[in-house]
Amino acid sequence: MQLSTKHLLGIKELLATDITTILTTATNFKEVLQRPIKKVPSLRDTTIVNLFYENSTRTRISFELAEKRLSADTINFSASGSSVSKGETLLDTVNNILSMKVDMVVMRHSASGAPHFLSKHLPNTAIINAGDGINEHPTQALLDAFSIQEKLGGLSGKKVLLVGDIMHSRVALSNIFLLTKMGAEVMLSGPPTLIPKYISQALGVRVEYDLKKALSWCDVANILRIQLERQNQVLFSSTREYNLAYGISKKLLSSLDKEIVIMHPGPINRGVELDSDVADSGQSIILQQVENGVAIRMAVLYLLAGNRNS
């Protein structure tokens, strides 16, 4: 099984067959992760740098664990504490790291398009986007899809709702690209100020501002974090009022005539977009999403390493 691409820059650039290949490979790696010895020698001769210019808990640990489970050598780089503070450019930093014989780069950056820029300058090094600004977070969408598939038995025809800060969410954009490519139906809900105008026509999704109607429609609701750090103007009155209008509470879910699956990419603003009694309930698969992230990242690294060697 091979991917059609040398890099993972976004879901936008993937074919549906690439997505199926990654999800199938991840199923095999998930089986490896259930074994007493959770390690395979697949990337024994590969060195990977995890280049994080922006904070992360889940993605960073998950990539590092995936690399270790594949027996790769790993280097972890944080912009804070590095020579970036002395003015070194992204390209200089990466070229210096690559001169030490590094094979693959996993990168998170606050600038949308930063991994695409790197891939143009370093065509022979596999670049994996671990989240770029408000653009894409492809491995998050892949682990979300894997988790939906595991819970509901497939993606095609499933009704997936994304709730909240669509405007600033790279998770939303990657999920929309992935789910529509795989035949799922996608609806967006949230305050009109946090949903881009014309997104419905541009990306083939539905928009429903009435949260209860949207929740009644879906099989699964992926609740997004309010990205206060990316908002340079006030787009809703207060987190308290946001919670009252668009927060997911036990009471709201109990008023539906069916039980839906609740997801969240993390980190959660508890009591803002999602109440604790929902986040920690049996309806939520949030920790399964995190668990599945390791298998997905193993699959992506393994398949891209295979492309490098072919």
Q: Please give the residue ranges that form the binding site for ligand CP (CB under 6 A).
A: 56-60, 131, 137, 140, 265-267
Q: Which residue, 55 or 216, has its beta carbon nearer to ligand CP?
A: 55
Would you say 214 and 206 are in contact if contact means Cβ atoms under 8 Å apart? no
Q: How far apart are the first and last CA of the chain?
A: 12
d(CA 222, CA 284): 10
Q: Rank residues 131 and 138 by Cβ distance to ligand CP and give the closer one.
A: 131
Q: Least distance from C-beta 224 to ligand CP, angstroms?
A: 10
**120 phi and psi angles, rounded to 5 deg:** -70, -35
Query: What residue spans of the chain are helical by DSSP H?
Result: 16-33, 58-69, 90-98, 114-121, 138-152, 170-181, 199-203, 211-217, 239-246, 250-254, 276-279, 286-309
Minimum gap (Å) between residue 225 Cβ and ligand CP: 8
The nearer residue to ligand CP, 25 or 59, going by C-beta atoms, is 59
The distance of closest approach from Cβ of residue 239 to ligand CP in the complex, given in angstroms and rounded to an integer, is: 19
* Residue 31 C-beta: closest distance to ligand CP, Å: 24
> Nearer to ligand CP by C-beta: 42 or 284?
284
User: In what helix (H) or strand (E) does residue 74 lie, and over which residues does it extend?
Assistant: strand 73-78
Q: Which is nearer to ligand CP, 42 or 174 (CB)?
A: 174
Alpha helices in 34-167 (DSSP H): 58-69, 90-98, 114-121, 138-152
Q: How far is the CB of 58 from ligand CP (least distance, A)?
A: 4
Q: How far is the CB of 61 from ligand CP (least distance, A)?
A: 8
Nearer to ligand CP, 6 or 58 (CB): 58
Question: What is the amino acid identity at position 52?
Answer: F
Question: Does residue 277 contact residue 239 with C-beta atoms inside 8 Å?
Answer: no
